[in-house]
Chain A
């Protein structure tokens, strides 16, 4: 199960602007972008368990909201970039979230991995890929995919 955590739009501007500025630095000019955090929780839990983990543990309900169906950014003509650490790389955040999930759910998940998603409306997926490679991902440690939303 992948849980996606969104910063509410009114609090997300700083983060988005910083990201847009870095894209521009890498040669890609865009006007908007949305960002989210992803937690892949590998566990034999019920939907209710996952919902509770998402809203009680992983989301700051003041500034964020969560979704159990990732990929809905509400942007037109956007690409979605999903970035994870490679499986061979120890996922430090994933490890500590795994412990916290066990505390909340009362049973430990098999694994938790932490990732990020970026939603960028732009004309060329290739250009986006180049920009992302320059500033965001390092294929030594990351795996990533880009797809049209």
Chain B
């Protein structure tokens, strides 16, 4: 052994032992503090740490017609998302993606910026991935960290109604729109939201309720396990059952082939709209997948305005159907005896004026009472009688029937049209640039500065058909019936008007005789509305009883010509369709 002896003394031994014990106890007390005293805190922290909440989705509600025919359903597609913070080299990775999905890299970058919603949330950059593209992405998984494909339901429109404006469409949310939305609905950029039509109107019903799934993840965000407790399931949106009868809708659409115009059919007793056609139209499929800018621009610049839902957003002069407004005023205010006749010589000269106003029938109608004036749409009768009415009374009556206000139909973006009043005329023509008598000559014919939507026209005819107590128009069959403000007019007024409207269709000289169907009592009024865009608009507004229910219809052919010649036969065909297809139309 070595020469030097160990001289370690017991004091040094004890000093080091003390340091050792002290250190170990320090460590142990700290462990004790963390593990026993602070246990609750760290325990809950560890749960949050490892569990990630993830949104889950369910299908959006379907849209069906009144007979259960599916009009709008969901169609699974695959989309590609990118989560920014996981990216390694965005340009290089987008280059790879650009090759796979055959989209220019600039376009991908544009989408990346547009839909970006933060570093930790996925952003959609490509849609409608094919199976081949998915497999390529899967193959290059390692290079494509941060990219993920997932299922994404899009709307699929049935062939029958793929051009029905009222259905509306969905749009991807971008960040700007996000701030306007209800926070509690948990919208995220890139998700689809009802943007127009019924999809917008019934967004809250149609939209699924998002679920939450708790997933155990590691620090790389990789899923380890799905923890089933506490998961909140996602529920599909509610189906929307429409009052629309898709067969009737299709039938009416075919009546407008090669024409611009509108057909509206409703059940007067319920307010249900059975058919709402606006022609020309466009396929709603354009909102699916990726539509090129050029096809968009073509659609938007089309001068026939296929994108416009004419039913609620098309403004037209109503024409002769407004003679009824004058008639109501006359009878209700006792301004003349409806049995009294006037002489129609084919033209009218206002007292003290050299101007003449023509009747549409150049030879004149001869002696005309109110009934005949309505049935044959005599202008002169109304030129003369409207002179008895004050402008303010006349506009009040027009507004009573729902003009110049929304019909409250369950569709967004409805226009209210225009019933000009004194203020309007002063603003437009100056205080001395117009006369009350003069403008009434126009207004009584439904011409001049009056503008109505076809839907308002439908409401108008429904008011008449139901004699004032009228359910609000609606497209959702499940929506409870509400009523418009009741129009309180005397029985005599209603009866007179009914008689007049009956004779329009059912007398030989009635202007709407072409609409007559043998076994159905059809009431109606034709209109031929002059307008600055060319041929007059042809209107037919009417109603009829069928199987114990009252139905109403509005036919408008834009620049079609005479109401009696063009619109009335179409109305007739619709009525015939009811009798031919009795079984299906009857209320269920």
Q: Is B a genuine binding partner of A?
A: no
**Residues of chain A whose beta carbon lies under 8 Å from any beta carbon of chain B:** none
